[in-house]
Structure 1
């Protein structure tokens, strides 16, 4: 992937802090990829933020006994602090402001002016006592596709869109004992079926850019007529929809993703010193940008399917995203994270106890790329101690023996071995086969090889050479490859973080003293 890359992780709802499940999926992956791409000389912008418009803000505030506005402000501070605690280097962090609202309105108003949005009558659950239409977080029931229990809007289990009126056995989340009735309302929709052929062509051309679960889900969605996608809702929480056909309604938060992404990328560009003429400048056809999403499996419909359809509806104004890289759910002690049940562990909480390099390594090694995985403190202590801390500290102690004694010669054999190591890391980091798991596995393998070398077991390259310049050289190459994950260790140990192309290794090296990883914290995490 060449040229400018816009990396986006969808904004979490502003109804609480991030937990390890969030960090282990899209956020760490997006950060690691961004750091890797920059280490190879590419221009990359990384953006995320918070989304305050979903109804989950209202329901959570109700449960916590606070106001939605206070909850949003507190959540924004918490999310930013948690990203920083995990070393997630965000360029553009979206918040709640008039500029964002104008961006969303402008994006949708162009579709409306072009006749792409249609008025349709839809059925919603309705709460007679409050006079409220129940959408998204206001209503729970069973998904009509997979029967899993959840809220309307999107199904976390199968990722299909779930129209509120199609939920089975609907009930109010705020007033579960109150009777719910069906009621119709006129809303604006994007007629998704008109874009099904375009979507099928798009995803057929990007088949290699999707992980299997997403590819299967998209195929299922596009194999049948696509339901109309609501752009407005009858309600009061959210961005006002000033369309004349639907007075008093608000924008469906799940219709915001493309406009939010454009706003997010504009903020990222500006904060890296490149002001833009318009929020959507990086997305315009021919702009030279490649857009890459890191997102949870449950977000593929609003971003990859409905979002892409909205871009198609702009009739060539925009280039389409290059890649959607999904992850599955990350659990805590083999059970789903649940703030309401107190079954949760935050990134800041863990970072107060454990160095973030150890956290980042463990989350990379256990990231739920293709199936659900689980975090436990015992596993964190055991895996980081045996696979990272102890072998690295043995390697660092060996390098320290030669610190300041140089330059030491680096053999052709060592340069060839280092090139193979770099190729392994690049294969794990490059698109479309990016994998935190394989990057962590490569680091473990190479540290074990180097640690064995210090014990007199040979270099592991087939020659048995133990020359000191070769050892120090290959240890540095391994650390450079691991730098997108081990950000603090690499930042202290290396003069720069560049990942050099194969075949450009040095003929000599001057060893420097190496920092250690903390064994005490790795033990205490048990």
Structure 2
């Protein structure tokens, strides 16, 4: 199967259903996955872009307590908001799959097969325990100091350095819900999956795949492999989540992070079903014989889970499943120089921003300035000034110039293109492919390339009228071919422009074949955005 004919499964990190998606979330995996999926689809690939909410996370419990809500109600309202935000952003996802009995059965079947195959081991471990509450603590229920970088951290993994802190490794633990409740350590017997058993396969996999990763994530994997690999908790003595069915651990739940792979398979199956592609088994499209290109999009804080834990969960099934071709990992996006924070109300909800600013401008600006290789900063004023100066103004000047160049041209008949025009269009297409193809995928470089081509095409449009500048005239057909090439390559980012042009019957397929003639079309203009005046309540998370 050739690369261009392989089906692709693109998975964005599963969002926790404890709130909506703010701009920091949207700028990373959700926009990145959508742009990559749209690019592959434009090249003729069969693509499924999916995710699902991560309802079992303990962050649901801690957030619900902080907001005075019942966890189930928080999950329901958050899922609705996340789904609306993804739709408002124009992603290819047909929605979010329901977390229902079919979902839970998929998770349990995935884990039960591993249990039956003897992959899990029973371990006695020391766990943080809130003495007054009488509760074992994990992930979002416990905070403390990371033993690897000494920064503040929740349980499970450190957001700052990415290293895990399982069981009793977190220093100075505190109960998130009641920091005054003394935390001690108590022994408990749980099921684990020993990652060290998979070191040889992991080493081989990373040698082949991490050269396609971004440097920071690749470095973290190297750090993790340089020391003994931790055990993956499979069950945990908690109360929120899916009840574990294993006789060795009565009354325990499935550890939330081991749901990710069966959850992603379920989300893929549901998305395929929504698009009319039914399969007999939920995990069928992930099976190795389908040879799907599997790509994850997630933040650096999820490298340990999406880059290591989830890989081991697949490898534990032998050769049954495909493994990811790449993990596209983003860094943190700050707001006005500080980290986005829901608890401090320092954020901009994606849906609120999209209600105020045209969607293509939001997508372009996030693509241009997003934190691909290092932390980046979002400001509302910069969105306005940068998108106006670098995109809207030159784009609309080009639109006017093309309209002027087409005056007197018969718009009812195809226009011929020249060899020189086809060569220029093919050259530009190659530049965009380097921005969108793995391993060099970069929304930032794609957005910069859009800006670069606006200026070049403006000069080309002026050259159609040789009487105005004394240069050899550009053929109108060449101008339209190159403009169409720009529109096709901008379409993965600028979805409303793409819809406008497609409605005119313009083919936006990304192909190396350049036509000998092209039908005239209207180059669309872009709406502007107003300069923000102070803070806006909706944009600051205040209802």
1:48 aligns with 2:51: yes
2:437 to 399, 421, 430: 430
**C-alpha displacement of 1:299:** 1.2
Q: What per-residue deviation string (whole Å, max 9, x for no partner) do you get for residues 154-186 of structure 1?
A: 111122221141111110110011211111110
1:64 aligns with 2:74: no
SS in 2 for 1:93: coil
SS in 2 for 1:241: coil
- The more displaced of 504-513 and 6-15 is 504-513
**C-alpha displacement of 1:235:** 0.9
2:388 to 381, 385, 405: 385
Residue of structure 1 equivalent to 2:263: 260
The 5 Å alignment of 1:30-179 reads: 30-91=33-94, 93-179=96-182
The 5 Å alignment of 1:302-381 reads: 302-381=305-384
**C-alpha displacement of 1:92:** 5.8
**C-alpha displacement of 1:513:** 2.7
1:380·1:525 contact (CA, 8 Å) conserved in 2? Answer: no
In the superposition, the TM-score normalised over structure 1's length comes to 0.95
1:139·1:164 contact (CA, 8 Å) conserved in 2? Answer: no
1:516 aligns with 2:525: yes
1:294 aligns with 2:301: no
2:464·2:475 contact (CA, 8 Å) conserved in 1? Answer: no
Distance of 2:492 and 2:377 partners within structure 1: 22
1:184 aligns with 2:194: no
Residue of structure 2 equivalent to 1:499: 509
1:217 to 201, 217, 220: 220
SS in 2 for 1:256: helix
Q: What per-residue deviation string (whole Å, max 9, x for no partner) do you get for residues 193-229 of structure 1?
A: 1111211111111132211111111011011111111
Aligned length: 521
1:410 aligns with 2:417: yes
**C-alpha displacement of 1:39:** 0.7
**C-alpha displacement of 1:525:** 8.1
SS in 2 for 1:166: coil
Change (3 A) 1:153 1:458: farther
SS in 2 for 1:46: strand
Distance of 1:418 and 1:236 partners within structure 2: 59
CA RMSD of aligned residues (A): 1.9
**C-alpha displacement of 1:44:** 0.4
Change (3 A) 1:496 1:239: farther
- The more displaced of 345-354 and 403-412 is 403-412
**C-alpha displacement of 1:281:** 0.6
Distance of 1:391 and 1:273 partners within structure 2: 41
Residue of structure 1 equivalent to 2:490: 482
Distance of 2:61 and 2:28 partners within structure 1: 26
Distance of 1:265 and 1:27 partners within structure 2: 15
Change (3 A) 1:436 1:228: same
Q: Which consecutive unaligned segments of at least 5 residues does structure 1 have? A: none
Distance of 1:276 and 1:501 partners within structure 2: 30
Q: Which consecutive unaligned segments of at least 5 residues does structure 2 have? A: 535-543
Distance of 1:525 and 1:117 partners within structure 2: 58
SS in 1 for 2:345: coil
Q: What per-residue deviation string (whole Å, max 9, x for no partner) do you get for residues 285-336 of structure 1?
A: 2122121111111112222211111211112222222211111111111111
1:276 aligns with 2:279: yes
**C-alpha displacement of 1:464:** 6.3
1:198 aligns with 2:201: yes
**C-alpha displacement of 1:148:** 1.6
Distance of 1:513 and 1:275 partners within structure 2: 39
Distance of 2:338 and 2:507 partners within structure 1: 38
Distance of 1:178 and 1:160 partners within structure 2: 26
1:14·1:50 contact (CA, 8 Å) conserved in 2? Answer: yes
1:16 aligns with 2:19: yes
